[in-house]
Amino acid sequence: MSHVVKVNVVIKDLDALERAAELCGLELRRGQSIYRWYGRSVGDYPIPEGMTADQLGKCDHAILIPGNTHAYEVGVVQQPDGTYCLIWDFYAGGYGLKEKVGTDCAKLLEAYKQSIVEVACDKLGWYYERQTNGDLIVYHPQGGTITVTFSGELDANGFS
């Protein structure tokens, strides 16, 4: 049975999404045009708003569990404005996918938030390090730090 949902998120940075996938033990496959799911809508669950049944299973990129050919995958679908949305079939936990991405893809989205910070730091040449508890500490070149927790909370120290 299919239970395909559109995750309530706007993805703007594929590089950050790729990092986030890796943090969750997943892989972003750019250019993969289909994602694994039940395979057809059987009418037991509403089709995501703005989509038709024939669009299900189609994507521009996909996120998958490396080496697992049984688990469902997350479709990364480009929107008319150039951003991306995430689509996935959560039936039976996506056969292992939910364990990696979390309920409503929450784990993947938290990793995406931190990855956006990492990509920005790389562009600015700022140093950062990931802590064993999942926090990300960003070191400002002129002093001070910003801690980004895995849940997306910020704590700034040493700024005036």
pLDDT tens column, 116-125: 999 999 999 9
Q: Which residues of the chain fall below pLDDT 50?
A: none
- Is the separation of the CB atoms in 36 and 58 below 8 Å? no
| pTM summary value | 0.90
- CB-based burial of residue 132 (10 Å sphere; 0-12 exposed, 13-18 middle, 19+ buried)? exposed
The span from the first CA to the last CA of the chain, in angstroms, equals 56
